Structure 1
Amino acid sequence: MKFKSFLAKPFAAYVVKQIRRSMQQAVPDQEAIFQDLLKTGAHTQFGKDHRLEEGMSLAAYRQAVPIRDYESLKPYINQIKEGKHNILWKGQPLYLAKTSGTTSGVKYIPISKESMPNHFNTGRNAVFCNLTEMGSTRVFDGKMIFLSGSPELERVGGIPTGRLSGIVNHQIPSYLRTNQLPTYETNCIDEWETKLDRIVEETIDQNMTLISGIPPWMQMYFDRLTQRSGKKVGDLFPEFSVLVHGGVNFEPYRARLLETIGRPVATIETFPASEGFFAFQDSQLSEGLLLNTNSGIFFEFVPVGEIFSENPTRLSLPEVKTGENYALIINSNAGLWSYNIGDTVRFVSLNPYRIVVTGRIKHFISAFGEHVIGEEVEYSLMKAATESGVHITEFTVAPMISQQEGKSYHEWFVEFDHAPDDLEAFAGKVDGNLRNKNIYYDDLITGNILLPLKIRPVRRNGFIEYMKAQGKLGGQNKVPRLSNDRSLATALESFVEQ
C-alpha cells in the first residue's frame, strides 16, 4: 500500500462513520437545516420580500414562499449579476454556475461559501463509502480523471462564473492534484473532439484507477482509447477499478461501457446538478442513492401529478412513501428557495432514505393523454435489449401525430451498437414492455387510438453528429430521452439509416 492510499484509509473510515450517523438522524437534521436557512434568509432581500422570520413554522413558510422555477427567481439573480449584496443569501455568491436551460436560455445558479462543501465533499463521500465497503483505497495510488467542462472562469458582477464541473475543479485539494488528469491546459480546450484526443494522449500510458463523467462521453473516451491502443480499456489500465457516473440514467449505457472495459469494475452513481449535489450511491449492495440530508439542503417533495397545480401538496421527509413519483424541490444555503429543479424521484427505501431518479418533469410524452415518463421508456427498451442480446448506444422518443384516426404512434430513434436481427419483432417487445409499465398507453393501443411504437434506426455516431451540429458535444450535455413535440425528432431525421 502506497502513501496516499495508506492515509486515505482512516480518513475514509471516519467520513463513512459520519455518513452512517447521518442516516439515522435524517429527519432531525432536515428540521435543523430548515431553521438554519431561515436565520440567514430572513436578512436577505428575498427574505424581506417574503416576510421570512427566524423560527417560523414550515406551514407558514410554505404559505409565504410558493414553488418557483428559474424564471420566477430570475429578478433576484439579475440583481446578483449587477453586483448587489444580500439578495438571496448573505453577501455575494462565491461563484455563479452557468448552465444551459431549454426554456430560460443560459441560467446562472449561485454557489455560496456555505454550499461549496456540498458540491465537492459529496462526490468524495460517494467514493469513500464504496471503497470502504470494498476494503481498498488503492485508487488513490493511481491517476484519476473527470471528463468535465472547462475550468476557465469569467466574471459576472465581479463573481467568478463558469460551468459547475470547472468550478469544482478549482476546489480539488493540493494532495490530489498530482493524481488528477487531464492537465489544466487540456481541460480548458472548448472543442470537444480536439479535447478528447488530447485527453487520450495524456492518459493512454498512465496508471488510470478511477474514471468519471457522463456515460455517453465516457463511452467516446473509451472508444478512442481502444481505437488508439487496440486493447480493451480494462487491459490498457490494469489498475482501473472504479467508474463514477451521473447526469443520466446509467442502465442504457451499462452493457456497452462494460463490454468496452472488458472486465468488471465498481460503478458508483451520483446525482449532482448546478443547484446542488442531492444524492449518491453509498453501497454496491443496496438499491438507490442515499439522499444528502445533512448537507445544507432542505428537501420538499411534490406528487408529480400536482406539480403544476396552483396549490400542490408539499411533503417533507417524514411524509413521503416508497413507490411514488415526486418532483424534487430544494431550499439551499446558496439561496435557492422552494426551487423546482425539474427532476423527479422515487423512494426505494425510507430507512435510510434512498431514491432513484425517474426523469425530468419537462421530458415526457402525453400527446394523447398517456403521460409516459423517462423511467418507463428506459425500462422498456433495456428489458428488450437485455433479452435480445442487443446493445443500445443512444435513443430518444417523440410522438408522431397523424390526422387520420388511429394512425398516430410513438416514434423511437435508436442507435444500436449491435442491431437486432428482426427489428419489427424487437419493436414489438419494447411496445409490450411499455404497455405493461403504463396502463394509459396500453389503453390507447387497445382502443386503436395509437398504433404500436415504431423504431427508426439511427446510423452509427448519428447522435454524436447531431449533438455536434447543435454545438452540444461533450461536457455535461445530454440527449433528452423524451419530447412531447417533434423538434428533436425532426432534427434527427437526417441521421436515420436509409
Structure 2
Amino acid sequence: MEEKNSKTTMNMDLTPLIRPYFVKIARRTDCWGDSGKDVQLAQLRSLLSRASGCEVGRRYGFSELAKMKNPYAGFCQRVPMCEYEQLRADVMRMIRGEKDVLWRGRCRNFAQSSGTSGGKSKYIPVTEDSLRRCHYKGAADSVAHYLRANPHSRLFSGKGLVLGGSFANELHLDSGSARVGDLSATLIDRINPLANLFRVPDKRTALLSDWSVKLPALVAASKDAHVTNISGVPSWFLTVAKEIIKARGVETLSEAWPDLEVFFHGGISFEPYREEYRRLTDSSKMHFLENYNASEGFFAVQNNLEDESMLLTIDNDIFYEFIKVGADDALPVPLWELEKGAVYEMLISSSNGLWRYHTGDTVRVYEVSPVKIKVAGRTRCFINAFGEELMEENAERAISAVCSQTGASVVNYTAAPVFAEGNRKGRHQWLVEWGKRPADTLRFSMLLDEELRRLNSDYDAKRTGTIFLDPPEIVDIPAGVFNSWLHSVGNGKLGGQRKVPRLSNDRKIADAVLGILCRLDFSDLEKQ
C-alpha cells in the first residue's frame, strides 16, 4: 500500500496513543543487567534448535548441542570461526534457490555489502527470521527507547524521512527466487504497509537506484512534508538535507521542518558530522540517536539521550562472542565475560545463517551490566605503517574535536601513510572534503596532530621530536570526488550503503581518490 501525497500532513498527534506500546517494548531490557547470561544462552539454544535440520546443523550436531544445559562450551569446540569467503559458495547456493543450507528453509533476500573495504561484494542472507526478529525488531527498539526517554515527543504527529538504497546489485539479479540489494531496500520493500502512513517518500521513489534521479525526487517528495524524524547514514543524509534547505530557500533544516525532533543515524561514526547537524537544526528540540545496524544484524541502540554509548540488544536472534583486541592469541569470550573499557572484535551466530562469523567490527565496552558499547572501528581500518597503531576510533574523535575548535565541518575523509622517501620521513596524508573549510588548514593540521597525540600514546611516541614520523599532511578534496570513487568501486552504484574507509594501512584508496582529482584538474585545464 503506497502512502498518500507526501504534502499531506497528519491532522492529529497520535504519539500519546502509540507511546505506551513502545515504552513497554523498551522496559523489557531493564532486567538485562542481571539476566544477560541467561538471555544469551536461551538465544543460542533457540538458534541451534531451529537450524538443526539444515546442512550446517547436521554437520556440527546442533540438535545435540541444543539439549545441553550450557551449550556454549560444546558449540565452541565443534563450530569453527569463519570469515565471509568461507561461506561464499554456500551463500551462492542459497541465492540460486537451495534451501536448508545455512539456515532453515529458502532465503529470498540478500543484502549486498562491501563493508568498508571497497573490495568484492558480500551477499548476506536476510532470512524471514532475521528480518522479523532482528532487523525490524531493532528498528522498533530504537523508537521505543527514544519515546521512553522523551515523554514530550510528538514523533507520530508527522512523518519520517528514511534514506535507503536500492536493489541494484553486482550479480545483476532481481528475480522471483531471490532479490539482492542494499539491506535498507529490503527493509523498505517488506515493511508493514501501516508504517507507510508515517513515512516519506513513497516506495517507488525510495527504491530508485540512480541517485541523479533519486536525489531530486527525494527532495520533491519531502521538502513540504510534515517531517518529525529522519533516518539514515550521516554523510549521505547531509547531502539530502542541504538540497532540502536549498529547495525551501531557508538557512536550516529546522526551518524547513519546524517539528523535526530526532535523527536516528548509523552506518558510520557521527562525530565528524555532529557540529554540522547541530548548526542545521534547532538545538532546543533536536536529538541524535545512534543505532548499530549492519547488513549482518541490528546489534545495539542508544537508550539514553545523555549517553552516546549503545545498549547491546541480546534477545534479537543473535548470539555474540568477542575477541579482545591487542591480546596475543586471545580466544573468543561470551557476553558475560567482557571487561569494561576493553576493545573487542565482535563475532555473531544468528538466524541469517552466519555461525561464529567475524563481523569485521571492533567495539569498546563502556558497561558490562547491561552491556553498553560504542563502535571502535573496523578490524582492517587502521594505520600502523610506522608502529603508530592509529585506530579509526582515534581518528573520528580527533577530527570531531578539531572541527569543534576551528568551526570547520567535514563531509568525508580518508587517511593513508606516505612512506619515507629521500630525506623525508614517513607521514600520514589526510584527504578531506570540507562541509565548512577552516580559516587555516595548516592550523587544523597542527591541532589534529596534537589531538591524535593526546588520544594515542603509540602515535605520540612516533611523533616525539619528529624522529620517526613527520607531521600529518592535509589535502583538500573538492565536493564530488569521494562520490566518484564510491561510484567506481560500486560498479556504477552510488548510495547510502557505501562508505568511505577512514583509515588504510596502504595507499590503494588514497591514490585512487587522488587519481580522480588529477583527472578532474586536467579536465579543468583543458577547458581553460
Q: TM-score, normalised by structure 2?
A: 0.88
Shift of 1:11: 0.8
- Taking the TM superposition and a 5 Å limit, the aligned residue runs for 1:265-414 are 265-305=286-326, 312-404=330-422, 407-414=425-432
* Equivalent position of 2:142 in the other structure: 126
CA distance in 1, matches of 2:227, 2:517: 35
Q: Which amino acid aligns with 1:450?
A: L
Q: Which amino acid aligns with 1:136?
A: H
- Per-residue CA deviation, residues 268-320 of structure 1 (Å, 9 max, x unaligned), is 110111111000111202240010111110000001235xx8x6411111111
Report the secondary structure of 1:80's partner residue: helix
Within the candidate set 131, 143, 155, 1:116 is matched to: 131
Q: Sort the Cα spacing of 1:435 and 1:367 in 2 relative to 1 into closer, same or farther, 3 A.
A: same
Q: Sort the Cα spacing of 1:381 and 1:200 in 2 relative to 1 into closer, same or farther, 3 A.
A: same
Q: Which amino acid aligns with 1:89?
A: W
CA distance in 1, matches of 2:483, 2:168: 25
Q: Which amino acid aligns with 1:294?
A: D
Is the deviation greater in 31-40 or in 336-345?
31-40
Q: Sort the Cα spacing of 1:3 and 1:134 in 2 relative to 1 into closer, same or farther, 3 A.
A: closer
Report the secondary structure of 2:228's partner residue: strand
- Per-residue CA deviation, residues 324-345 of structure 1 (Å, 9 max, x unaligned), is 1100100112221000011100
The alignment status of 1:105 with 2:120, answered yes or no, reads yes
Check conservation: 1:9, 1:137, Cα contact below 8 A.
no
How many residue pairs align between the two structures? Answer: 495
Structure 2: where are the runs of 5+ without partners? 1-10, 522-528
Check conservation: 1:151, 1:170, Cα contact below 8 A.
no
Check conservation: 1:151, 1:187, Cα contact below 8 A.
no
Q: Sort the Cα spacing of 1:402 and 1:150 in 2 relative to 1 into closer, same or farther, 3 A.
A: same
CA distance in 2, matches of 1:104, 1:40: 33
CA distance in 2, matches of 1:157, 1:312: 44
CA distance in 1, matches of 2:13, 2:395: 47
Check conservation: 2:95, 2:107, Cα contact below 8 A.
no
Shift of 1:93: 2.1
Q: Which amino acid aligns with 2:226?
A: N
* Equivalent position of 1:11 in the other structure: 21
* Equivalent position of 1:146 in the other structure: 162
Shift of 1:22: 4.1
CA distance in 2, matches of 1:89, 1:341: 18
Structure 1: where are the runs of 5+ without partners? none
Report the secondary structure of 1:346's partner residue: strand
- Taking the TM superposition and a 5 Å limit, the aligned residue runs for 1:48-197 are 48-52=58-62, 53-54=64-65, 55=67, 57-100=71-114, 102=117, 105-117=120-132, 118-150=134-166, 155=174, 158-197=177-216
Check conservation: 1:342, 1:360, Cα contact below 8 A.
yes
CA distance in 1, matches of 2:98, 2:123: 15
* Equivalent position of 1:242 in the other structure: 262
CA distance in 1, matches of 2:181, 2:408: 39
Check conservation: 1:83, 1:157, Cα contact below 8 A.
no
Check conservation: 2:432, 2:474, Cα contact below 8 A.
yes
Shift of 1:486: 0.9
CA distance in 2, matches of 1:146, 1:3: 20
- Taking the TM superposition and a 5 Å limit, the aligned residue runs for 1:470-481 are 470=489, 471-481=492-502
* Equivalent position of 1:225 in the other structure: 244
- Per-residue CA deviation, residues 456-476 of structure 1 (Å, 9 max, x unaligned), is 122244433443455353221
Check conservation: 1:66, 1:338, Cα contact below 8 A.
yes
Check conservation: 1:376, 1:438, Cα contact below 8 A.
yes
Q: Which amino acid aligns with 2:449?
A: D
CA distance in 1, matches of 2:151, 2:260: 16
Check conservation: 1:142, 1:209, Cα contact below 8 A.
yes
The alignment status of 1:208 with 2:221, answered yes or no, reads no
> Identity percentage over the alignment?
31
CA distance in 2, matches of 1:77, 1:357: 27
Check conservation: 2:349, 2:355, Cα contact below 8 A.
yes
Q: Sort the Cα spacing of 1:410 and 1:351 in 2 relative to 1 into closer, same or farther, 3 A.
A: same
Q: TM-score, normalised by structure 1?
A: 0.93
Q: Sort the Cα spacing of 1:100 and 1:319 in 2 relative to 1 into closer, same or farther, 3 A.
A: same
Check conservation: 1:186, 1:195, Cα contact below 8 A.
yes
Check conservation: 2:209, 2:493, Cα contact below 8 A.
no
CA distance in 2, matches of 1:163, 1:103: 15
CA distance in 1, matches of 2:81, 2:262: 38
Report the secondary structure of 1:442's partner residue: helix
- Per-residue CA deviation, residues 349-379 of structure 1 (Å, 9 max, x unaligned), is 1122110001011111111222211001111
